[in-house]
Amino acid sequence: DAKTTQPNSMESNEEEPVHLPCNHSTISGTDYIHWYRQLPSQGPEYVIHGLTSNVNNRMASLAIAEDRKSSTLILHRATLRDAAVYYCILRDIRNQKVTFGIGTKLQVIP
């Protein structure tokens, strides 16, 4: 399985943009990049996904490197409610399995 590498933790000031990096150097052509987040004492929730092009939705933006070996989740304006563990995941389109790593714990400072 292709694996991802993320920093264990990051900090951000409230109302500032946050860039959460993810490396996936062994990504294959059939792997989609997904991001989930897990708020304290809750189950994970879907944030965004992409294949090759950058993606935007109401929660965040996903910037994917041209060689697809890395990606960045962008929260445009961090709020205290964005404090969570963020998981970068690769999913082969031919498979339903996803492998969650340890993720990045984001702390938002008021």
Partner 1 sequence: DAGVIQSPRHEVTEMGQEVTLRCKPISGHDYLFWYRQTMMRGLELLIYFNNNVPIDDSGMPEDRFSAKMPNASFSTLKIQPSEPRDSAVYFCASRPGTSVLLSYNEQFFGPGTRLTVL
Spatial neighbors of 66 by CB under 8 A, at least 6 apart, are none
Tell whether residue 21 is a contact of partner 1 (CB under 8 A).
no
> Which long-range CB contacts under 8 A does 36-43 form with residues at least 24 apart?
36/86, 36/87, 36/89, 36/100, 37/82, 37/84, 37/85, 37/86, 37/87, 38/84, 38/85, 38/87, 38/103, 39/81, 39/83, 39/84, 40/83, 40/84
Among 54, 56, 69, 101, binds partner 1 (CB under 8 A): 101
Tell whether residue 91 is a contact of partner 1 (CB under 8 A).
yes
Distance CA 86, CA 11 (A): 12
The residue range among 7-15, 17-25, 74-82, 88-96 that interacts with partner 1, by the rule CB under 8 A, is 88-96
Give whichever of 90 and 108 is closer to partner 1, judged by the CB atom: 90
The residue range among 8-16, 40-48, 59-67, 75-83 that interacts with partner 1, by the rule CB under 8 A, is 40-48
Tell whether residue 105 is a contact of partner 1 (CB under 8 A).
no
Among 10, 21, 23, 49, binds partner 1 (CB under 8 A): 49
Positions that interact with partner 1 (CB under 8 A): 32, 34, 38, 42-46, 49, 51, 87, 91, 93, 96-103
